[in-house]
Amino acid sequence: MANIAVVLSGCGYLDGAEIYESVITLLALDSNDAKYQCFAPDINLVQVVNHISGEPVPEASRNVLLESARLARGDIKELSELNPDEFDALIFPGGFGAAKNLSTFAVDGVDMKILPQVERVAKAFAEAGKPAGYVCIAPTMIPHIYGAGVKCTIGDNRDVAGAIESMGGQHVNCAVDDVVVDEERKVVSTPAYMLAGRISEAATGIEKLVRQILTWAD
């Protein structure tokens, strides 16, 4: 039975992990008889956003690990505890938390930096040749992890695709219900809510991503 590490970035698409993407990922893993463990960094959210108005809440402060625990039903570990030797693959669901809390892409664009503990984990899987999946906006981290020429997708958003290209990645336009696979590096990505208008559309691509991850892991 494959054992997959899932890294979350909060709870809520505007400032953390995208809830539907996270739940679909966990459901797809369970439906394919894979084990998983959720992880998140023990840091504060860069920005708390009111999910009704879409506006920031300047006075608010929330913790990424505690918020992510809501999605994991409390079964979550601090990211520093993630030992890549104990897992067969790694998945990053999307949501703006991936671009705000796990990296600085939302603020810095092509000059982005990845949170050091996130970078440590992701590079460890890459260097070990273990599969990884990146969903929605999370693929903006892929060029920094895998280097020049790595294939990935966020769908067809020109600005974000252009940023990925500027960072050395090879962006491939992709439909919402499909994936882009880099066979050499064993990394797979899907647009999910970068394009999805319905939860079923996001689910189809994420389920394909999970199946690809498990095929490699086997």
β strands within 122-199, DSSP E: 132-135, 151-152, 170-171, 180-182, 187-190
Compute the distance between CA of residue 171 and CA of residue 163 in angstroms, rounded to an integer. Answer: 9
| 73 half-sphere exposure, CB direction, 13 A CA radius | 3
Q: Which residue has the tokens 């920005």?
A: 47
CB 66 within 8 A of CB 74: no
Q: Name the catalytic one among 38, 136, 152, 174.
A: 136
Compute the distance between CA of residue 201 and CA of residue 143 in angstroms, rounded to an integer. Answer: 26
Catalytic status, residue 136: yes
SS3 84: helix
Residue 189: which residues within 8 A CB-CB, separation 6 or more?
133, 134, 135, 138, 139, 142, 152, 153, 154, 174, 179, 180, 209
Compute the distance between CA of residue 130 and CA of residue 122 in angstroms, rounded to an integer. Answer: 10
Which residues are part of the catalytic machinery? 136
